[in-house]
Structure 1
Amino acid sequence: MYPVTYEADYLRERNRLTTFFRLIVAIPWLIVAYIYLIAQMVVVFLAWFAILFVGRFPEGMYNFVGGILRFTQRVNGFMYLQTDAWPPFGIGEDPSYPIRVNFHPPAARQSRVKDLFRLILAIPLLVLSYAMSYALMAVAAISWLTIVFRGYQPAAIHNAIAYLMGWSTRATSYIYLMRDEYPPVGDETPVEIDPPAGALAASEAAPLDPAPAAEAAPPAPEGGQAPPPAQ
């Protein structure tokens, strides 16, 4: 699993009113996010020099950049209808909030070469992120219409938005120098699939270790006489 993760809890029944006015009610968070992003870019710029000369991302700067990434993705998740809960304004962890962005501690050493050429290495990510942003807006528009007119969000739409948001989170963390590992397109999270009910019932009914069949007794000799006892 990639060291930076995005998770969003699914809730089927949704608030039609706040969904209808989502872009308006999100304005206070967008203003704060804009201010945070300016500070984040300054710290990323300083971190670029730190990695280039020292070979590591200073932990305090790393946590600040990751915390703002957490905040912005919570706001984006709120705007893209992953949840109706109001996002916290802080940048720290909040396990009670339905959207969670977690990241591992900074690596002890990071590649100076990858740091130096990060913008060049990130070009494929930027192109893919641009394409995925349109996919995200399209799926969110479908979600908006479904919630406004039917009052619920289908699980498939929620999962599609969560996948695209997860990709955006991983790509951003790489571009902002938090990781040297190239982010995968998939989330690399194993999915457990329950077996069919009939197969499960059959497996429970079957004996785990059937006893071996009893050995057949040797046939009686002709004439009906029993075999002599063993010496």
Structure 2
Amino acid sequence: MEQPIYPVQFAVEYPDRPLNRLTTFFRLFVAIPILIILASVSGGTWQWTSEQGSTVATGAGGILFFAPLLMILFRQKYPRWWFDWNLELQRFSTRVGCYLALMNDRYPSTDDHQTVRLDYHYPDARAELNRWLPLVKWFLAIPHYIVLFFLDIAAIVVVIVVWFAILFTGRYPRGMFDFVEGVIRWHLRVVAYALVLVTDRYPPFRLAS
């Protein structure tokens, strides 16, 4: 098979149909249950106080960063199940993010990929990953953090405009859809490089695939 242009591939199927205006209008409220589930597998912590004292509930999980860093550094290995966990968690969180960005009106599934496709290339750590680079990737990605800060602001504005567009027309303007998809794609590439550590290829400065 032909090697992908970049080892992180992301795409969202464009909803070329009328979207549900009612769930779009109440999207932030409708998404609360799935956001609670996402927080529970992403290491979220909640605390509440009663007359008997404080009770803390903690969700296990979250993106694995430090453990893969140590394994790559000292053993030049990236355990497959750690890779699979990070990938599936990213897929789930991306489905939720796309739902919040109004890119789909189907409620996010915890396991089915639905209309969101995200794939990472599983690396041969010994042959494809520099054992020392994970120590500085977070620093090397700083230019991307700066660009993404402004892109995120633009994406939020676009989603607000899209919210009105869907309420009045039932459609997600294609150009705005491509822009929001591109911002999410940029985020995922940076996460894969600097945090999930699945590639040493520096993320490109572009929205397109």
TM range (shorter): 0.7 to 0.9
Q: 1:131-146, aligned counterparts within 5 Å? A: 131-146=150-165
Specify the code of the residue in structure 1 equivalent to 2:38. A
Does structure 1 residue 100 correspond to structure 2 residue 120?
no
CA distance in 2, matches of 1:67, 1:137: 25
Once the two structures are TM-superposed, the CA of residue 161 in structure 1 deviates from its matched residue by 1.2
Tell me which residue corresponds to 1:52.
73
TM-score, scaled relative to structure 1: 0.74
User: Where does structure 1 differ by over 3 angstroms across 4 or more consecutive aligned residues?
Assistant: none
Q: Over aligned residues, Cα RMSD in angstroms?
A: 1.6
| Bigger Rg, which one | 1
Query: Secondary structure, in 3 states, of the residue corresponding to 1:40?
Result: coil
Residues 36 and 122 of structure 1: CA distance in aligned 2, closer, same or farther (over 3 Å):
farther
Once the two structures are TM-superposed, the CA of residue 56 in structure 1 deviates from its matched residue by 3.0
Query: Secondary structure, in 3 states, of the residue corresponding to 2:11?
Result: strand
Tell me which residue corresponds to 2:52.
none
Tell me which residue corresponds to 1:27.
32
2:183–2:207 contact (8 Å) kept in structure 1: no
Once the two structures are TM-superposed, the CA of residue 29 in structure 1 deviates from its matched residue by 1.6
CA distance in 1, matches of 2:85, 2:77: 15
CA distance in 2, matches of 1:159, 1:57: 33
Tell me which residue corresponds to 1:9.
13
Query: Secondary structure, in 3 states, of the residue corresponding to 2:122?
Result: coil
Tell me which residue corresponds to 1:202.
none
TM-score, scaled relative to structure 2: 0.82
2:134–2:194 contact (8 Å) kept in structure 1: no
Gaps of 5+ in 2: 44-60
Q: 1:102-181, aligned counterparts within 5 Å? A: 102-109=119-126, 110-176=129-195, 177-181=197-201
Tell me which residue corresponds to 2:56.
none
CA distance in 2, matches of 1:173, 1:32: 23
What is the total number of aligned residue pairs between the two structures?
184
**Greater share of strand:** 2
Does structure 1 residue 85 correspond to structure 2 residue 102?
no
Once the two structures are TM-superposed, the CA of residue 15 in structure 1 deviates from its matched residue by 1.0
Once the two structures are TM-superposed, the CA of residue 173 in structure 1 deviates from its matched residue by 1.3
Once the two structures are TM-superposed, the CA of residue 188 in structure 1 deviates from its matched residue by 5.6
Gaps of 5+ in 1: 190-231
Specify the code of the residue in structure 1 equivalent to 2:146. V
